[in-house]
Structure 1
Amino acid sequence: MSVDFFYIAQLARACLRELWLHRYGALAGGFLVGIAVLVFGMFWQEKYTVSSSLYADRQNIIAPLLKDRAQVTKVEDQIQLVKDLMLSNRILEKIVQSDSFAMQGLTPAKLSAVSSGIRSKVNIRSLGKNYISVSYSDVNPDRAYSVVTQLVDLFIQESSDNKRSESRQAFLFIDKQVSSYKDQLRQAEQRLKEFNASNLDGSESRVMGSIENLRKTIADLELDLGQANERVASLSAQVDQEDRYLTRKARADEYRDRIADAVTQLDELKLSYTDMHPDVIALADHIQALRNAAASSSASASGSNSGIGGVENPVYDELRGALASAKVEKNTITKRLRSLRSRLVEERQRAKRISERDAELAELTRDYSVTKGLYEDLLERKEQARLSMTLDIEGQGVSFKIQEPAKYPQFASGLRYVHFVILGIVAAVVVPIGLIVVFIFLDPRIRFSNVIEGEFDVSLLGEIPHLVSSPIQRMRKMDVRLFILMFVACSAVYCSAAFMYLLWG
């Protein structure tokens, strides 16, 4: 985009021409604008800003020495929390009621309004890591300095008091919890002690060992009982086969020998003949007759009180003694087995009781362990809280320090009266020129040659300059002198007014 310097030059000449044509109006308008700005500056209240900076000390000398033993009160990282405490109603009301404002005896509504006004003028911002800036602006430098000083002092005091109060409240709360858990621990110990005193069944491992031993013993006794039964049966059979007297025994032995010989002959015949052979049949009948004779002889002999000769058989007496001993042993094993089985049932019932009570014991032990762990943890926390409270009371926990104290303001901040004096001069020049420029753009008359070529599509051959005659030139010189005189007079009036207010205002 090219800049049309010719058009700019024409516009500048047109502005100068219009300014000269309206020179007295432009001078009067500029003078009035300058005076208006100057008067506004006279009534403008200069503001004085006082600032102070705080340092949030995160490195405490005693903190490394008490690491993991006490909680040193930390500085909050969020600037909003600092604003909430510093701009709280409690601190602002103390400042309003101080000597800097001299507003004692205000109604609550008025006190709240003044506090809100102070709050809106206080600026709290972060200057970087661990640094906080506090500034306040007021038309009264003494009040601005007093407000910032009191804000910082009251903030540090309130912060310290809050930390001490929090530490004390935490210590009292933990101490109350320690007492409560101490009572609960004593109750848990008493319940566990009473449970152990009322349950004498022993441990589950001992009962299971006893049950296992009883099972092995019962198994061994059952084997012994089986052997004893077999022995009794065997001895009973031998006693039944043995004769009580020797005579009966001899006759029985005779029949037994003859039967054995006959059976041997029968076996030899069967090797040669069939069962239907007459000799085999005859020999079989003979064997049966011998057996019948032996049986009838034994029956007749047992029915009588004594046999022929009446001599006792010692083998028979020995077998009967052994049978009696075997029966005694069998009865002993049976009784012992019955007793052990009864004990096994009792041990199983005891194991069942122990299993049921182990669940209750586990619950009591778990409650005791949990309560003991919490109690010991609270004891440790109580000691930490006590040390933290001591640190805050001694001032070791206070972390905010005044890095740069407030300084009394020597000059006002922002726009001052001098700025309005300069601004009035600039406005007196700029406003008339601006109005002339607007007038040129809004005036429908044709002022530039390129406008004729553009609108009527014709070629401009040349421009005829305005000729000024000698009388008109003399009048212009007089107008110039008069304008310069009026300009000097307006400037003198403006400067005098500005200087006089600067001296006596």
Structure 2
Amino acid sequence: FEYLKILRRRKAWFIAAFVASVAVGVTLAILLPKTYRSSATIAVQAPAVSLDLVPARADLSREERLLALSQQLRSQTVLARVAREEQLLSDRPIEVVTGELMRRIEVLPTKPIARDGDRQELSAFEIVYKDGTADRARRIADRLANVFVDEHSKSRELQAEGTAEFLSQQLNRSQQRISALEGRLRAAKERFQGKLPEQTAANLQTVSGMRSQLESTSNNLRSELDRLSLIDRQVQAMKQGAAPVGVGVANQGATPSPQQRVTALQRQLATARTQYKDTHPEVQELERELQLARQEAAAMSQQPESTRQELLAGDPLYQQTMADRNLTQLRISSLRRTETQLQRDIVRYQSQIEASPMVEQELSSLQREYDIERDNNKHLSEKHSTAQVQEQIARTRGGERFSVLYPAYMPDSPESPNRGRILLLALAAGFGLGLALVFARDYVDQSIRDARAVQDEFAVPVLAEIPRIHTA
């Protein structure tokens, strides 16, 4: 009963707060502007062609697709066209009008009628528009739906055309880069001809053959040099009047030269001394003949050079020996030229073999760049072919399409304000506010109103209590 007493005592506060709250609620219900809601339903139609020819959609959830569609609907292209066709500008900036439209638009999903596994497919959605008049809400909602469907088809077509054009340009640039890389590869191979990695085995085989040929040529050259040395000694012996070393006498009946006689007598004397003593008559005869022969040889060696050359010029053996000497010199010169050329060729081929790794590294870099560009060209060609097919599909509208399933309806009543709800809220708020003010006012009031309050406040007994006297 204590709370009832407080409420009875402070009823003026309660009534004032309640009446004020109800008055505010009634005022709001009357003065708030009306807002009408209208919506059009857009159907998402499946592609009319094979799914293999339609670009795969991004793996988006229903909410993500709704967000993407909402962004397309709120694009400046769609809103500006709606503003112009509905004549909403009226000398106002286009940005202001499109901003107002954007705030009044809402995209909501409808109940899904298709599923893709565990995921719900977006088969339709609503375009909601709110306005102050019912007719304008219906007209603009209907216009938004039609413009959105038309602009979406155009944007898909423009996107397909732009994609095909872009890929065509990229493909042309890729082909130009391939041509340039082919030219660089061809020029590099021509510049490094003989040093190419694929020629290394042939170069090694050639060097091996040249080394064998060089070894054979060196052996032949040494043989010819030995032969020339032998011939030179023979010629020198002939010029000194001695018989050629290792060569028999050409004419057996010819008179031997003094030097030949000296040589023969020395050989006979050596043989006789092995058989007889030095006092033996045969040994003494040979010594005497040897001395005479030496005197004749010394006398002959003192003859003029011209006389000796005349004698040698008429000697057929000497002429043959000189001819052999000249021929040997020619062979030596040829073998030396061959040896020098072989050494140069070996050095050249060896340098080519040693340069092969660096050439391979440079060519491999070019080849790798060429292979990458060729693969890129192949991928671009495939993408370009696909883009051309998709462009054709977009032009014929054979891909995923949007269509107006239900046009916008005429709203019967405003969506807001909800007067009944406002009044109920005002009554509830007035009741709560009145109670709060009553108890707050009583809490701050320090007046003493009965004996118990006196005892609680001063801790003294109450002796008597005078009741309230009501006057007439």
- Could you state the TM-score of these two structures normalised by the residue count of structure 1? 0.62
Structure exhibiting the larger radius of gyration computed from Cα positions: 1
Alpha-carbon distance in 1 for matches of 2:27, 2:408: 33
Tell me the secondary structure at the aligned position of residue 267 of structure 2. helix
Q: 1:201 to 1:33 in 2, by over 3 A?
A: closer
Alpha-carbon distance in 2 for matches of 1:106, 1:90: 19
Which deviates more from structure 2 when the two are superposed, residues 135-144 or residues 323-332?
Answer: 323-332
1:218 corresponds to which residue? 214
- 1:88 corresponds to 2:99: no
2:331 corresponds to which residue? 332
Which deviates more from structure 2 when the two are superposed, residues 250-259 or residues 166-175?
Answer: 250-259
1:345 Cα deviation after fit = 3.8
Query: Could you report, residue by residue, the CA deviation over 1:11-40 in whole angstroms, capped at 9, with x for unpaired residues?
Result: 332212443xx5xx9768755754553343
1:223 Cα deviation after fit = 0.9
Q: 1:367 to 1:60 in 2, by over 3 A?
A: same
Tell me the secondary structure at the aligned position of residue 136 of structure 1. strand
Q: 1:401 to 1:292 in 2, by over 3 A?
A: farther
- Contact 1:225/1:333 (<8 A) preserved: yes
1:224 Cα deviation after fit = 1.0
- Contact 2:265/2:290 (<8 A) preserved: no
2:8 corresponds to which residue? 16
- Contact 2:157/2:395 (<8 A) preserved: yes
Alpha-carbon distance in 2 for matches of 1:388, 1:402: 24
Letter in 2 for 1:335: S
Q: Count residues with an aligned counterpart.
A: 421
2:267 corresponds to which residue? 256
What is the correspondence of 1:474-489 to structure 2 with a 5 Å cutoff? none
1:164 corresponds to which residue? 157
Which deviates more from structure 2 when the two are superposed, residues 220-229 or residues 45-54?
Answer: 45-54
Alpha-carbon distance in 1 for matches of 2:97, 2:29: 26
- Contact 1:218/1:340 (<8 A) preserved: yes
1:492 corresponds to which residue? none
Alpha-carbon distance in 1 for matches of 2:126, 2:59: 15
Q: 1:171 to 1:443 in 2, by over 3 A?
A: same
Which deviates more from structure 2 when the two are superposed, residues 215-224 or residues 409-418?
Answer: 409-418
Q: 1:180 to 1:465 in 2, by over 3 A?
A: same
What is the correspondence of 1:109-124 to structure 2 with a 5 Å cutoff? 109=93, 111-124=94-107
Query: Could you report, residue by residue, the CA deviation over 1:205-224 in whole angstroms, capped at 9, with x for unpaired residues?
Result: 56665555344323211211
Which deviates more from structure 2 when the two are superposed, residues 152-161 or residues 338-347?
Answer: 338-347
What is the correspondence of 1:410-449 to structure 2 with a 5 Å cutoff? 410-413=412-415, 415-423=417-425, 425-426=427-428, 429-430=431-432, 432-447=434-449
- Contact 1:134/1:148 (<8 A) preserved: yes
- 1:231 corresponds to 2:215: no
Alpha-carbon distance in 2 for matches of 1:13, 1:288: 185
Tell me the secondary structure at the aligned position of residue 448 of structure 2. coil
Which deviates more from structure 2 when the two are superposed, residues 370-379 or residues 289-298?
Answer: 289-298
- Contact 1:221/1:333 (<8 A) preserved: no
Q: 1:348 to 1:424 in 2, by over 3 A?
A: closer
Tell me the secondary structure at the aligned position of residue 338 of structure 1. helix
- Contact 2:262/2:294 (<8 A) preserved: no
Runs of 5+ unmatched residues, structure 2: 111-118, 279-285, 304-314
1:258 Cα deviation after fit = 1.7
Letter in 1 for 2:264: D
Query: Could you report, residue by residue, the CA deviation over 1:130-185 in whole angstroms, capped at 9, with x for unpaired residues?
Result: 65765433343343344344334433432332222122112123323434554565
1:456 Cα deviation after fit = 1.2
- Contact 1:46/1:414 (<8 A) preserved: yes
Tell me the secondary structure at the aligned position of residue 460 of structure 2. coil
- Contact 1:192/1:361 (<8 A) preserved: no
1:339 Cα deviation after fit = 4.2
Alpha-carbon distance in 1 for matches of 2:430, 2:262: 175
Which deviates more from structure 2 when the two are superposed, residues 427-436 or residues 330-339?
Answer: 427-436
Which of 379, 385, 388 is residue 387 of structure 2 equivalent to? 385
Q: 1:265 to 1:193 in 2, by over 3 A?
A: same
1:202 Cα deviation after fit = 10
User: What percentage of aligned pairs have identical amino acids?
Assistant: 14
1:433 Cα deviation after fit = 4.5
Query: Could you report, residue by residue, the CA deviation over 1:53-112 in whole angstroms, capped at 9, with x for unpaired residues?
Result: 77888x86857524xxx745658757665444322333223333445xxx4561143x54
1:458 corresponds to which residue? 460
1:462 Cα deviation after fit = 9.8
- Contact 1:228/1:326 (<8 A) preserved: no
* Alignment RMSD (CA, Å): 5.4
What is the correspondence of 1:281-292 to structure 2 with a 5 Å cutoff? none
Q: 1:330 to 1:95 in 2, by over 3 A?
A: same
Q: 1:120 to 1:10 in 2, by over 3 A?
A: same
Runs of 5+ unmatched residues, structure 1: 1-8, 267-278, 280-286, 305-315, 473-505
Q: 1:149 to 1:462 in 2, by over 3 A?
A: farther
